[in-house]
Structure 1
Amino acid sequence: MNLVRSEFLKIRTTNAWWLFGLGAFAMLALTFLVNALGAYYALSEPTPEGLNPDDAATFEATRDVVYQAANLYTSGQFFGLLFVLLLGIVVITSEFQHQTVTTTFLSTPHRTAVILAKLVAAALAGAGYWLVTTALNIPATIIFLSTQDVSNQLGEWPVLRSILLNLLAYVLWGVLGVGFGVLIRSQIGATVTAVALYLLGTAAGAIFFTLFANWLDADWISDLQYGLPSIASGLMVSGTNIPGQPVFWVGAVVLVGWSVLTGTIGTLITRTRDIS
């Protein structure tokens, strides 16, 4: 616990946490506006005529009020997770950036304990980001749904499940950030690479698997995109199952697997790497 408190002291005494927080807040406001507009049209417009059965089923599923409520309550997740990832990267790379890692490991020779403390601190910081974003999303969503003459849906288990799994996503992305920072010790290099992979990699992966699946006429190939942690995070907070997509728990399993993998690799590398 002393190590965890030390890591929180390092986070609090730098500008990274509140700069990332401001970025997450700005993107949360923008995302909620977009989601609210989408929910307005989804809840008020009928299913367009002329759609094939698959597209019609998908459209009907997204018109479900539980789906829209879960989407609104978890608004800002995509960019919020990016900022949590960056914060986790800073937790570990700042030690190398400012050359304090030698002092850290001399004062605490057990490197595994140090990395575990960083993982815990990053995970708890992610939980803090979730708490703030959820505290903003809940009243905003309740107000919006009331204008549509719809109940707040908080009594529906799929909606509550989405909110709780969103917490898990924020926690695990903090762990992913620490693991990624261990692999690339340069703070600038790690942050730039992480942003590029998160934004461009997500879009490129989704397009690649979709086009490849259409080319080979194999739907299972399209499902491989949910192996990407960013897409898996969105899947796990879906309030209802969308036709043609895996069920929500697949996203949770994928994200847990990535977190365990990166956390384990990061710990093993740090235990054996020369820090001089």
Structure 2
Amino acid sequence: MRAIAAEFQKVFTTRMWWLLAILMFVYVAALAGGLGAFFGWITDDPEAAAQAGTTTTGPVPSGADLGSLLFSFATSIGYVFPVLLGALAVTGEFRHQTLTPTFLATPHRSTVLGAKFVSQLVLGAAFGVVAFVGTVAAASGALAAWGIDAGLDSSDTWALIGRGILAMALWGAIGVGLGAVVPNQVAAIVIVIAFTQFLEPVLRFIAALSEPTAQIGRFLPGAASDALVGASFYTLAASAGGSGVDPLEWWQGGLVLAGIAVVLTVIGGATTWRRDVS
């Protein structure tokens, strides 16, 4: 417990956590609110939208389905932030050479890594709460302006939000595992941004083109996260692509994310974490 408390203190004595939280909040709220207003306009006046040359790749969901889709921006877009925070919690120790006093204070290295894993689970969940506050407030406000019910009185909507917070917690733990495997801070940041913002979206798009590849694509981290949450623009686009492959069940998506977090952390603990610290 003292090791876990120390990890929280390390995070809260820096500016990085609240800077990332503010950036995430603004980012997901702007996307959810902006698209909420856009889809609200299309739903309210489809003829004017058609005259303006506005088209969509498929039918626009309405009501609670549209609300859930917009709320899911908290995870489908915002998940990169808890990953970064988790990776920085580990790589920062190497970069600033604070790992030596950390190991002197807590000689059992597995205890230190386990404390980082647990603390980032909690912080990832907290980031999830912040992200959903942003998307729910922005999207429901935008939809209400067009007279569309966002479905906040539905238990399914709140179940989606709860699963989304769990997904964000698991992403924070994945960040710890990545930082343990790749202790170089710059390299870890580049990997997170390149994979989440470019490589995986491209892989998911390519995988959706045929049924065999779509079966494999379901197990990509982002796809598993979307399956756990239960809504995402990525899965909507995949359905429009006509691959005919259903996403994983929500619990299967959660197990895939948890498995990735545990495997990465175990690999990092068995390799990088055991090396001499200078």
With normalisation by structure 1, the TM-score equals 0.82
Q: Given the alignment of the two structures, is residue 229 of structure 1 paired with residue 221 of structure 2, yes or no?
A: yes
Q: CA deviation at 1:71?
A: 1.8
Could you list the per-position Cα deviations for residues 16-52 of structure 1 after superposition, in whole angstroms to 9, with x for gaps in the alignment? Answer: 2122123212311331134314532564477xxxxxx
**SS of match in other structure, 2:218:** helix
Quickly say closer, same or farther: Cα 1:43–1:162, change in 2 above 3 A: farther
Aligned length: 260
Distance (whole Å) between structure 2 residues aligned to residue 127 and residue 187 of structure 1: 23
Q: Which residue of 2 aligns with 1:246?
A: 247
| Cα contact 1:237–1:248 (8 A) shared by 2 | no
| Cα contact 1:66–1:158 (8 A) shared by 2 | no
Q: CA deviation at 1:271?
A: 5.3
| Cα contact 1:158–1:239 (8 A) shared by 2 | no
Distance (whole Å) between structure 1 residues aligned to residue 62 and residue 69 of structure 2: 11
Quickly say closer, same or farther: Cα 1:128–1:246, change in 2 above 3 A: same
| RMSD across aligned positions (CA) | 2.7
Quickly say closer, same or farther: Cα 1:206–1:136, change in 2 above 3 A: closer
Distance (whole Å) between structure 2 residues aligned to residue 41 and residue 223 of structure 1: 35
Distance (whole Å) between structure 1 residues aligned to residue 137 and residue 29 of structure 2: 13
Q: Which residue of 1 aligns with 2:39?
A: 39
Distance (whole Å) between structure 2 residues aligned to residue 42 and residue 162 of structure 1: 25
- Counterpart of 1:256 (choices 245, 249, 258) is 258
Structure 2 portions without partners, runs of 5+? 47-56
Q: Which residue of 2 aligns with 1:51?
A: none
Quickly say closer, same or farther: Cα 1:256–1:45, change in 2 above 3 A: farther
Distance (whole Å) between structure 2 residues aligned to residue 42 and residue 236 of structure 1: 29
Q: CA deviation at 1:64?
A: 4.5
Q: Given the alignment of the two structures, is residue 28 of structure 1 paired with residue 28 of structure 2, yes or no?
A: yes
Distance (whole Å) between structure 2 residues aligned to residue 64 and residue 248 of structure 1: 23
Quickly say closer, same or farther: Cα 1:68–1:238, change in 2 above 3 A: farther
Quickly say closer, same or farther: Cα 1:115–1:133, change in 2 above 3 A: same
Distance (whole Å) between structure 1 residues aligned to residue 216 and residue 42 of structure 2: 28
With normalisation by structure 2, the TM-score equals 0.82
| Cα contact 1:127–1:170 (8 A) shared by 2 | yes
Q: Which residue of 2 aligns with 1:103?
A: 101
